[in-house]
């Protein structure tokens, strides 16, 4: 069993499923509000490791989806400044176990790291609302 610090957007259905899976896997989850956490650029950067800057972002964010923010053109410093100003841009959840930190919910990575129970349905970090919107019929 791992002690998991889980930074989430409160009310996010995807984060709720992820926490349920972690608990079902025997882990203790300390859920914290990603949006009100007093982040610094240095601390936030530790969750991204060697990932590409574009992978630091919540791709379901309206500012990303609209093209207002072109994540492929950002330096790490500029990306962190944007995220500190607007935490909804951060790919979530942010997960901390011991000294290791990760961003997003990659089931294979988390299973290899701390272990996950098998589930009949895939749990990922894709926004459930975005999945539902993609299934809606398009207006003409």
Question: What are the tens digits of pLDDT across the range 42-61?
Answer: 999 999 999 999 999 999 99
Q: Using the Cα atoms of residue 111, residue 27, residue 58 and residue 131 in order, give the sign of their dihedral.
A: positive
Residue 30 is assigned to a structural domain of this protein = yes
Catalytic-labelled residue, pool 12, 21, 22, 95 = 12
The domain total for the chain is 1
Does the pLDDT at position 130 exceed 50? Answer: no
Q: Are strands 94-97 and 100-103 parallel, antiparallel or unpaired?
A: antiparallel
Averaged pLDDT, 118-132: 62
Q: 139 pLDDT band (50/70/90 cuts)?
A: very low
Q: Among 58-62, 70-74, 130-134, which stretch is predicted with the lowest mean pLDDT?
A: 130-134
**Residue 71 within a domain:** yes
Q: Is 80 exceeded by the pLDDT of residue 32?
A: yes
- Asked if residue 47 belongs to a domain, the reply is yes
CA dihedral 70, 75, 76, 82 (to 10 degrees): -50
CATH number of the domain residue 105 falls in:
3.40.30.10
Check if 127 is active-site: no
Three-class SS of 82-116:
HHHHCHHHECCCEEEECCEEEECCCHHHHHHHCCC
Distance in Å from the first CA to the final CA of the chain: 51
Mean pLDDT rounded to a whole number for the chain: 89
Q: What is the pLDDT of residue 128?
A: 54
pLDDT at 119: 74
Q: Domain limits at 106?
A: 3-135
pTM, two decimals, is 0.86
Q: What percent of the chain has pLDDT over 90?
A: 81
In a domain, 140, yes or no: no
Helix (H), strand (E) at residue 29: strand 28-33
pLDDT tops 50 at residue 131: no
């Amino acid at each position: 069993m791992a002690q998991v610090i889980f930074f989430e957007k409160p009310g996010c259905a995807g984060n709720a499923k992820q926490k349920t899976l972690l608990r079902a896997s025997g882990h203790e989850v300390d859920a914290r509000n990603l949006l009100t956490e007093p982040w610094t650029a240095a601390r936030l950067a530790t969750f991204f490791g060697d990932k590409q800057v574009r992978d630091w972002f919540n791709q379901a964010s309206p500012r990303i989806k609209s093209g207002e923010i072109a994540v492929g053109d950002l330096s790490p410093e500029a990306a962190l400044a944007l995220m500190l100003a607007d935490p909804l841009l951060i790919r979530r959840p942010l997960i901390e176990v011991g000294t290791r930190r990760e961003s997003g919910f990659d089931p294979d990575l988390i299973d290899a790291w701390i272990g996950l129970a098998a589930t009949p349905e895939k749990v990922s970090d894709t926004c459930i609302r975005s999945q539902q919107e993609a299934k809606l019929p398009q207006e003409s």
